[in-house]
Chains A and B, each alone.
Chain A
Amino acid sequence: MDARDLLDLVWIVPALPALGAAILLLFGRRLGEPKAGWLATGLMALSFAWSVVMLLALRDISASGPAARTHTVDLFTWFPTGGLQVKMGFLADPLSITFILFVTGVGTLIHVYSVGYMHGDENFGRFFAFMNLFCASMLVLVLGSSFLVTFLGWEGVGLCSYLLVSFWFQRNSAAVAGKKAFVTTRVGDFGFMVAMFLIFAELGSLDYSAMNAGAGKLAAGTATAIALLLFLGAVGKSAQIPLHVWLPDAMEGPTPVSALIHAATMVTAGVFLVARANPFFEASGGSALTVVSIIGAATALLAATVALIQVDIKRVLAYSTISQLGFMFLALGVRAYAAAIFLVVTHAFYKATLFLGAGSVIHGSADNQDMRTMGGLRKYMPLTALGFIVAWLAIAGVPPFAGFWAKDEVLSRAYFAGDYGVWIVGVVAAAMTAFYMTRAVWLVFFGNERFEAAEPAAEAEEHGFSLESPTVPAYVPPKPARLTHPPHESPPTMTLPILALAGLAAVGGLLSLPFGGIEFLSDWLHPTFERVPEIDVTSFVAAAILSVISVIVALVGLAIALSLYRDGIPTPEGDPLPERLGVAGRLFQHAYYFDEIIANVVRGPVTRGAEWLNRGFDLGIIDGAVNGVATLVRDSGGRLRRVQTGLVRNYALAVVVGAVAIIVFLAVRAG
């Protein structure tokens, strides 16, 4: 079979998990545990296998030159409306194939893990239905051949994040967190939609091929507007400042969901969108890219500072993800698209490992998430500790693990692009990354054992943001129950995926090493970013010095954390960090009061504006028009009904008068 014929079947990749979701939604309860889980996992694995076939087929057709390395499949016309012919089509190119490979690959491992993690949950089947739907939506998102198909997946991802974050909806905090995730990303979706309207108005089509052909000819102002609106969508989905507030609260979902959201699906969608729409960003003359890099750098730094002081293991990872996403946008902003995708892929590996490891820790210690009451767990769960430590070294930027290569690539690109401010911010954030991850690893796996000292279970405090209770207290992790037995290692269905992902996190850097001609990923992605001007990497020596700086920075962060937490902390309340940081510490603990500020803005001006609109516009104009029409009809009817007197002679008169009138009319016309 010809390679292009094979690529015509790329729709099978999202279709398999979508099929799984349909089957499980209908029969999930009847299949039960663990069959439902293995069905979902099997379909994801098949999807991954088919993605590999797609990769090979795409390599085949690129034999005639990298420029030919794209293939568009139009399945059917989704809806034809006048000038807008929306085709349901998929685009197989290096960017989308890279994404589907790690989405299905990492997704499969997370599914395997979930079979163990969700053991005993009464809604086992429903969970896997949503997980499959989540992956299918993400695959549609990255494979779409036009902005609208991508938007379909984009919304599907948003829906699934809502369903899964609030999966344990009996808990109020989970229900609130799900709503928050949905509503916050919706703010970004608004930008995406307006951007699509603009694109259609300017180019007359939403296809990516039309974008590639026409974006360069747009006026710089229009292109900037489109680029910034698309970026607003990305900011919402990828949790960049100021729309990042939903991600830490999304920790309310089951841990595999967090892993899926952070590693494979959802948050990388924003990075994908900016990378996919790079012609608009390029056509904006660089101004939109500057915004992207500034937001990215600010997010990387602020989220890293907040992560420093978190005590909930999942919250550390959540802020870490926000920070790492900031790095990705920083890279996009300095035109290092390939480096950004490299970081996306390696981040998927090590962040999935970290989350699955955290889930294993939580699973093994009776749902405790508070790192202050852990410590010394490596003795009890050695496999989880091994995976977690490898991923820690990767995210901290210690060579030769994957994170080092990706982050070094991003930072050196920023340096060579001449954005020294962004570069310095990135370096500082990288040092903090090393610090907070080392702190987390030492608090959880090393030092003294503190889990016996855990306070008896107290009522978990509600947190999160809702309009009903808009004051947001600083996050307090739920108080764990006193452990009746020592923590235990998780079953193999959970540890094996952790170790597999840890392996990938260790060697993932091989995808794109900056020397020796093995930049597979950059070369592979080159056709997608062919219009991006090449940054002149001035010298090998400079690159080497930057790498050395990266290593030193990572080691410094690591060393500071070790000096503070070498022996653990004396008591669960004895964390030295908040005191050392003083006022800044309080700021970090409240995550810069973003939740409070947003709550106040929503409660104050937004609510007042909405009320004004309700009274003036909705009640006055909309309701006024409807009620006006009704009143007009009723009043005129009331007058006209008097014609019906009920007297037969009046009707007879009317008939006679009518007949006479017709005769007169005919006579006049004839005569």
Chain B
Amino acid sequence: MSLAALDITPNYYLVVGALLFTIGAVGLLLRRNVLVMFMCVELMLNAANLTFVTFSRALNDIGGQVIVFFTLVVAAAEVAVGLAIIVAIFRRRRGATADDVRLLKG
């Protein structure tokens, strides 16, 4: 069975997307390092992007790919703000553990 004969259906991409998203979500919930949590968020965003592109191809609709561009722009902005916050946290205290930053509580 040659590689070419292997029929790559959209389902493969969707499964990969779901896996990436789940890894991201679980990482976000379980890890304490802010930087890692941040990367998890990026992972979830890109999982969503992958799903969009997959459906765009499968349904032959360019709209999905347009939305990906929007997502990328938003993600870039988010990175800029998020990294700034992380740098600020680093400057105030040595380390970047999310649970240490908990002054805003009821």
A residues with a Cβ closer than 8 A to B are 640-649, 652-653, 656
Report how far A652 CA is from B106 CA in the complex, Å: 17
Min CB–CB distance A590 → chain B (angstroms):
71
Q: Is B91 an interface residue (CB 8 A)?
A: no
B residues with a Cβ closer than 8 A to A are 25, 28-30, 32, 37, 98-99, 101-106
Q: Are B29 and A652 in contact, CB atoms less than 8 angstroms apart? A: yes
Q: Are A648 and B29 in contact, CB atoms less than 8 angstroms apart? A: no
Q: Are A644 and B106 in contact, CB atoms less than 8 angstroms apart? A: yes
Report how far A643 CA is from B98 CA in the complex, Å: 18
Report how far A641 CA is from B25 CA in the complex, Å: 26
- Say what secondary structure dominates the interface of chain A: helix
Q: Are A646 and B102 in contact, CB atoms less than 8 angstroms apart? A: yes
Report how far A649 CA is from B36 CA in the complex, Å: 12
* Chain A residue contacts of B25, Cβ below 8 A: 656
* Chain A residue contacts of B104, Cβ below 8 A: 644, 646
Min CB–CB distance A644 → chain B (angstroms):
3
Report how far A6 CA is from B84 CA in the complex, Å: 84
Q: Are B98 and A646 in contact, CB atoms less than 8 angstroms apart? A: no
Report how far A647 CA is from B32 CA in the complex, Å: 10
Report how far A647 CA is from B102 CA in the complex, Å: 6
Q: Are B98 and A647 in contact, CB atoms less than 8 angstroms apart? A: yes
Min CB–CB distance B57 → chain A (angstroms):
24
* Chain B residue contacts of A644, Cβ below 8 A: 104-106
Min CB–CB distance A545 → chain B (angstroms):
96
Q: Could you jot down 29 A-B contacts, CB within 8 Å?
A: A640-B106, A641-B106, A642-B106, A643-B106, A644-B104, A644-B106, A645-B105, A645-B106, A646-B101, A646-B102, A646-B103, A646-B104, A646-B105, A646-B106, A647-B98, A647-B102, A647-B105, A648-B37, A648-B98, A648-B101, A649-B29, A649-B32, A649-B37, A649-B98, A652-B28, A652-B29, A653-B29, A656-B25, A656-B29
Min CB–CB distance B44 → chain A (angstroms):
10
Report how far A359 CA is from B28 CA in the complex, Å: 96
Residue in A644, A652, A653 with the greatest tally of chain B CB atoms within 10 Å: A652
Q: Which residue of A lies closest to B104 (CB)?
A: A646
Report how far A270 CA is from B98 CA in the complex, Å: 82
Q: Which residue of B lies closest to A641 (CB)?
A: B106
* Chain B residue contacts of A642, Cβ below 8 A: 106
Min CB–CB distance B80 → chain A (angstroms):
19
Given contacts A646-B104, A649-B29, list 20 more A-B pairs with CB under 8 A. A640-B106, A641-B106, A642-B106, A644-B104, A644-B105, A644-B106, A645-B106, A646-B103, A646-B106, A647-B98, A647-B102, A647-B105, A648-B37, A648-B98, A649-B30, A649-B32, A649-B37, A652-B28, A652-B29, A653-B29
Report how far A646 CA is from B105 CA in the complex, Å: 4
Report how far A506 CA is from B3 CA in the complex, Å: 135
Report how far A549 CA is from B28 CA in the complex, Å: 113
Q: Are A649 and B106 in contact, CB atoms less than 8 angstroms apart? A: no
Report how far A646 CA is from B104 CA in the complex, Å: 5
Min CB–CB distance A510 → chain B (angstroms):
89
* Chain A residue contacts of B105, Cβ below 8 A: 644-647
* Chain B residue contacts of A645, Cβ below 8 A: 102, 105-106
* Chain B residue contacts of A646, Cβ below 8 A: 101-106
Report how far A640 CA is from B37 CA in the complex, Å: 27
Min CB–CB distance B32 → chain A (angstroms):
8
Report how far A642 CA is from B106 CA in the complex, Å: 6
Min CB–CB distance B2 → chain A (angstroms):
39
* Chain A residue contacts of B102, Cβ below 8 A: 645-647
* Chain B residue contacts of A649, Cβ below 8 A: 28-30, 32, 37, 98-99
Q: Which residue of A lies closest to B28 (CB)?
A: A652
Q: Are B106 and A647 in contact, CB atoms less than 8 angstroms apart? A: no
